[in-house]
């Protein structure tokens, strides 16, 4: 929410510290400031140019949850064929192919966020 609030403006005129304090109180329900200094600066990912890249972690979690639910839970965590498929389609190509290609090959379909959403309590199991 913070990154969207400071980066999603018409004219880039935003009071970063006031926005940080307001959102901190709204989200954590703790009133008062974040202490001396600029609280927003303590979140290095937002202030150091890595803001949008931070969401790459969530995509990785989404894909891993999908792989685990689709193949490893279904086939068994120690299933040799599943392990070799993972090695061949995900690990071996490295950066030589687009990651989505290997992911689709491993899953046998396009990826889904359902397993990830269920793992964080946003969706119910079906």
Exposure class string for 32-70: b at 16+ Cβ within 10 A, else e: eebeeeebbeeeeebeeeebeeeeeeeeeebbebbbebb
What pLDDT does residue 90 have? Answer: 96
Q: Where does the pLDDT of residue 34 fall: very low under 50, low under 70, confident under 90, or very high at 90 and above?
A: low
Answer yes or no: is pLDDT of 116 > 90: yes
Q: Does residue 2 have a pLDDT over 70? A: yes
What would the two tokens of residue 16 be? 């970063």
Residue 76: predicted pLDDT: 95
Looking up tokens 């150091």 gives 48
Looking up tokens 């279904």 gives 74
């Amino acid at each position: 929410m913070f990154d969207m609030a400071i980066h999603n403006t018409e004219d880039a005129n935003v009071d970063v510290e006031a926005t940080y304090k307001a959102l901190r109180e709204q989200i954590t329900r703790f009133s008062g400031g974040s202490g001396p200094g600029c609280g927003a600066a303590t979140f290095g990912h937002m202030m150091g140019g890595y803001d949008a890249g931070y969401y790459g972690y969530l995509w990785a979690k989404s894909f891993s949850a999908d792989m685990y639910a689709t193949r490893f839970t279904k086939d068994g965590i120690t299933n040799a064929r599943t392990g070799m498929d993972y090695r061949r389609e995900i690990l071996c190509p490295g950066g030589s192919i687009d990651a989505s290609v290997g992911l689709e090959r491993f899953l046998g379909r396009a990826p889904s966020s359902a397993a990830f959403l269920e793992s964080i309590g946003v969706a119910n199991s079906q």
